[in-house]
Structure 1
Amino acid sequence: MSAFFKQRIREIRSITSIISLVLMIISLGALATNGLNMGLDFTGGMVTEVKVDNSISHEKMVETLQPALGQFTNVTHADQAGRWMVRYPIPAEGEQTADLVKVLSPISNQVEVISNSMVGSQVGQDLIDQGGLALMISMLSILGYLCFRFEWRLASGSLLALLHDVVLVLGFFAASQMEFNLTVFAAILAILGYSLNDSIIIADRIRELLLAKQELPIEKINDDAVIATFSRTMVTSGTTLLTVSALWIMGGAALQGFSIAMFIGILSGTWSSISIGTVLPEWLKLEPKHYLPVEIDSAP
């Protein structure tokens, strides 16, 4: 680690904390004004499996189907050559459902509809309810763990860093209006665990230094804790980002939302654990005495 970074670590932590708070406000504003563009998993829609010529590419399928079925049409490859799963919104009342055989005939010599099914709005609402319940249970479990593991001033920094990462991902999807589906929701649950891991490692180091170097101010202790764990954090985040980048590049449209959400969550989780996770305990006046055992008066 460079000497410049060590000398400016406190300044870097403060600046990134301000940036994080600004990004949270922007993300909440995007959520309030735009909302999330819920995918067919939540709103309901049609799912059709078709068989076409083996030479037809994914790009050609999307290029042909989107004008007829709408911009939110999703095409994924099935388990056999030439078979595709087409997901698209239910036509509005009064509109006719597009005939996929006619739509695909110009690009394929043979077009066969293997199956056709509809995901109703009630199923979508059930998924929203179950997803919200899963998110709430996850957050409550994490809150319980943090309260048990750390003193509340230190735990609050980790919890706010966790909320920051989720809000930033949701804000990005609200601002860009990318489809928010089950794979993106799964990425958010994964981000909760990943971000918490980084925050706990730094918080645990802060707790050790609070007991080992009680004469130092909390600002200096936080600086030392970040420096001590920085190499480990960068290696872990870097290797994970490489994996997520490979998914983003090679995974195609089916994994694009998941990959983007994970990429943003890993980046924000890395800097929030360094910035928010350490600065908030300073503002709350965390001191070594909060981790010292309580003295019991033995006098009668």
Structure 2
Amino acid sequence: MVTFLKQHIRRIRYVTGFISLGLMVLSVAMLAGRGLNMGLDFTGGMVTEVTVDPQLTSDQLLEVLKPQLGEFTSVTHSDQQGRWVIRYSNAQAGQTMPNITDVLAPISHQVNIVSNSMVGAQVGQDLVDDGGMALLISVLCILGYLCFRFEWRLATGSLLALMHDVVLVLGFFAMTQMEFNLTVFAAILAILGYSLNDSIIVSDRIRELLVAKQKLPTAEINDQAIIATFSRTMVTSGTTLITISALWIMGGAALEGFATAMFIGVLTGTWSSISIGTVLPEWLKLEPKHYLPVELDATP
């Protein structure tokens, strides 16, 4: 694998770089054309807590609830056996929502409504504002850190790699119309941190090689940096994907969106640090002289 990588790494970097740019354009088009399917956390809706027969599972509940309450109905286990929290959208104009007790009666001998409340539009707007502010602060902090840590050409590549990972995840959710809720938004923030860490590892190696091997062209230095960090990247990404896969398989509907976003983010974060994170600095003419001490003119 390492031998193949040494022989074809530059071609892989350039090809994946163009693929990444194409996917970014497609994702932006999806976001503009279809938009995100915002969940109840952002749009508002109904939240009903019920107690039913203890042996019932979430899949059995969703099987009867979704046809009546809508495709994006979610069920979360509460703190007691047989107690569940049901989240679903408000009724559309001219429609009447069915009674939860009547809907669950065919599969449960006892159905007791513990509480029934509505998450209003104002709460949803507050969540959108707070979430957007959190994302903005995170991006600004990352931007400041990159500008302090690296020369601007190398920092630009890392920043574009971060944008690439987030845009691709959002584009996937826009294309599939999967529900975008607070757990998915949390995954977006986690992806920013993960992708930043991966980009910094590669960029640090590039910076070291630029100083140590000043006679080599930048393209060759980038190739060597990726090969030097490849094993570490595969181990880190592989173990992370195993953990995310476990969440995906065993977490159920409550963690499906989070696991999906994280899985895509880890994959895109791995290849963006190899492609965009190294190709863009080359296009911006990054050279060893940009990391060498500036010689001061001692002439009086």
Name the residue aligned to 1:41: 41
Once residues 63 and 32 of structure 2 are traced to their aligned partners in structure 1, the CA distance between those partners, rounded to angstroms, is 32
Deviation at 1:20, TM superposition (A): 0.5
Report the more deviating stretch, 182-191 or 93-102.
93-102
Name the residue aligned to 1:226: 226
Q: Is residue 2:63 matched to residue 1:74?
A: no
Percent identical pairs in the alignment equals 72
Once residues 2 and 100 of structure 2 are traced to their aligned partners in structure 1, the CA distance between those partners, rounded to angstroms, is 60
Q: Is residue 2:108 matched to residue 1:98?
A: no
Once residues 96 and 2 of structure 2 are traced to their aligned partners in structure 1, the CA distance between those partners, rounded to angstroms, is 65
Once residues 2 and 70 of structure 2 are traced to their aligned partners in structure 1, the CA distance between those partners, rounded to angstroms, is 52
Once residues 268 and 12 of structure 1 are traced to their aligned partners in structure 2, the CA distance between those partners, rounded to angstroms, is 14
Q: Is residue 2:56 matched to residue 1:56?
A: yes
Once residues 291 and 151 of structure 1 are traced to their aligned partners in structure 2, the CA distance between those partners, rounded to angstroms, is 8
Once residues 98 and 127 of structure 1 are traced to their aligned partners in structure 2, the CA distance between those partners, rounded to angstroms, is 28
For each residue in 1:120-167, what CA deviation from the matched residue of structure 2 results, as whole angstroms up to 9, or x when unmatched?
001000100111111011000000000000000000000000000000
Report the more deviating stretch, 89-98 or 252-261.
89-98
Deviation at 1:2, TM superposition (A): 2.9
Deviation at 1:276, TM superposition (A): 0.4
* Preserved CA contact (<8 Å) 2:43 2:124: yes
Name the residue aligned to 2:110: 110
Deviation at 1:92, TM superposition (A): 2.4
Q: Is residue 2:21 matched to residue 1:21?
A: yes
* Matching residue's letter, 1:298: A
Once residues 96 and 208 of structure 1 are traced to their aligned partners in structure 2, the CA distance between those partners, rounded to angstroms, is 66
Once residues 212 and 157 of structure 1 are traced to their aligned partners in structure 2, the CA distance between those partners, rounded to angstroms, is 21
SS of the aligned residue for 2:56 comes to coil
For each residue in 1:257-286, what CA deviation from the matched residue of structure 2 results, as whole angstroms up to 9, or x when unmatched?
000000000000000000100000000000
SS of the aligned residue for 2:109 comes to coil
* Preserved CA contact (<8 Å) 2:28 2:167: yes
Report the more deviating stretch, 220-229 or 92-101.
92-101
Report the more deviating stretch, 63-72 or 234-243.
63-72
Unaligned runs of at least 5 residues, structure 1? none
Deviation at 1:94, TM superposition (A): 4.0
CA-based RMSD of the aligned residues comes to: 0.8
Name the residue aligned to 1:296: 296
Deviation at 1:93, TM superposition (A): 3.7
Unaligned runs of at least 5 residues, structure 2? none
Deviation at 1:296, TM superposition (A): 1.1
* Matching residue's letter, 1:251: G
For each residue in 1:192-214, what CA deviation from the matched residue of structure 2 results, as whole angstroms up to 9, or x when unmatched?
00000000010000000000000
Once residues 268 and 93 of structure 1 are traced to their aligned partners in structure 2, the CA distance between those partners, rounded to angstroms, is 41
Name the residue aligned to 1:268: 268
Once residues 57 and 223 of structure 1 are traced to their aligned partners in structure 2, the CA distance between those partners, rounded to angstroms, is 52
Moved over 3 A (4+): none
Report the more deviating stretch, 194-203 or 59-68.
59-68
Deviation at 1:228, TM superposition (A): 0.3
SS of the aligned residue for 2:108 comes to coil
SS of the aligned residue for 2:95 comes to coil
SS of the aligned residue for 1:108 comes to coil
Q: Where do residues 144-293 of structure 1 align in structure 2 (5 Å cutoff)?
A: 144-293=144-293
Once residues 293 and 248 of structure 2 are traced to their aligned partners in structure 1, the CA distance between those partners, rounded to angstroms, is 49
Name the residue aligned to 2:10: 10
Output the TM-score relative to the length of structure 2. 0.99
Once residues 49 and 169 of structure 1 are traced to their aligned partners in structure 2, the CA distance between those partners, rounded to angstroms, is 32
Output the TM-score relative to the length of structure 1. 0.99
